[in-house]
Amino acid sequence: MNLIDGMLARRTTNGPFRPDPVSHDHQHLLMRVAQAAPSHFNSQPWRFVLIEDPQTIAQVAALAGQSMTELIEAGVFFERYRRYFRFSEVEMQTRRDGIHIDHLPGPLRPFTRQVFSDAGLKLMRQLGVPKKLGEDNRKLVAGSPLLLAALLDRGEYRPGELSGFYSVFGLGAAVENVWNAVGELGMGIQFVSTPMEIPRHWQALGELLRVPDDLELMAVYRLGYLPQEQARPSIDWSSRHRKRLDQFVYRDTCAQPEQETAAP
């Protein structure tokens, strides 16, 4: 696969990985592509923890599952993120961003449009959806052979200052390099973001990884080799839809949206 094809094919892996350990050669290759990213003044503000100890993975998985259950149970998740959810093909085709909710767990399907209402939330609680989604999430993380924690040097990561912005930008570039490279190795990657939504779980995760005072834990990912068959999860949180050129690119000034030269 050439670089551009690989980047265009990049995607989030929502399903399980094969249980096989990720070879240390592959792990180190991913770290080398990460550090090939640009950074302000070549500061290389990123740090990474490669986690393959089964006990640590199980503890991260428990935190992720618990966080997911709490977020759904309390309605926080839907409250915080409802603006990203699309409920029809027409809405999706018009906006071409966000997540298309076209794949809810069976019992919820008749209530697709109500999942964000109080009544929908009540129904989800009655059907045990928060626990089910939490357990799905826990299993996905627990079954991953490798977790990757991304951190920033707090000497650089100073929120409110330009170096804080630059260092987040650099870390994003480093992680994107990893994200692009995994496909070439027959691997997948997924953000494990639920623990960072709940401060006490995020703190517990930092303690588990023994993050020192001079580093800031920024994100956690799960990685592994992809199985042949990939089924969609109970709720598919990822989306392949992308905006048209005239929805996100301008020519010369922001007053002139860019036009397609050929059909996308």
In the complex, what is the shortest distance from the CB of residue 239 to ligand FMN, in angstroms, rounded to a whole number? 4
Angle between helices 162-182 and 24-35 (to 10 degrees): 140
The nearer residue to ligand FMN, 15 or 107, going by C-beta atoms, is: 15
- The residues that touch ligand FMN, with contacts defined as CB under 6 A, are 11-12, 14, 190-191, 193, 237-240
* Residue 110 CB contacts under 8 Å (≥ 6 apart), including other chains: none
**Short-list 7, 48, 3, 52, CA closest to 176:** 7
The nearer residue to ligand FMN, 206 or 233, going by C-beta atoms, is: 233
Environment class of 15 (CB within 10 Å of its CB; exposed 0-12, middle 13-18, buried 19+):
middle
The nearer residue to ligand FMN, 93 or 259, going by C-beta atoms, is: 93
Which neighbouring-strand residues pair with 85?
99
Distance CA 102, CA 235 (A): 9
In the complex, what is the shortest distance from the CB of residue 3 to ligand FMN, in angstroms, rounded to a whole number? 17
In the complex, what is the shortest distance from the CB of residue 255 to ligand FMN, in angstroms, rounded to a whole number? 29
Which residue lies nearest ligand FMN, judged by its C-beta? 193
In the complex, what is the shortest distance from the CB of residue 188 to ligand FMN, in angstroms, rounded to a whole number? 10
The nearer residue to ligand FMN, 11 or 40, going by C-beta atoms, is: 11
